[in-house]
A = this chain, B = another copy of it.
């Protein structure tokens, strides 16, 4: 998919990327916090790390998120090239599901993280 342009197929690919609860929860977190590292998301969702990584790879492949390495951590943020579409869809959807138990729980667990990795704060 070429950034900037959108055809039916790439729109479908992006919809498919959004059609998974784990990926939607990840995006909700990233959308709220700007940038997060994998260990934070792993902790927030309480799921195995490979699973989180794999889902992030899916989001990365359709260019909804981008990754940035900082020391031994990898930070994920929204792909700003896709922001026009993504921000719209995400805003509309998150507004409807922000009270969902899973979404709320994720936010709580992330907030309750005792020692958050260093690079995640020096943005």
Contact = CB atoms under 8 A, between A and B. Distances in A.
Interface of A: 6-9, 11-13, 15-16, 18-21, 24-25, 84-85, 88-89, 92-93, 96-97, 100-103
A59 to B, nearest CB: 13
13 contacts: A6-B96, A7-B101, A8-B100, A8-B103, A11-B96, A12-B19, A12-B24, A15-B16, A15-B18, A15-B19, A15-B24, A16-B16, A16-B19
A89 B100 contact: no
A11 B101 CA distance: 14
Number of copies: 2
A21 B9 CA distance: 6
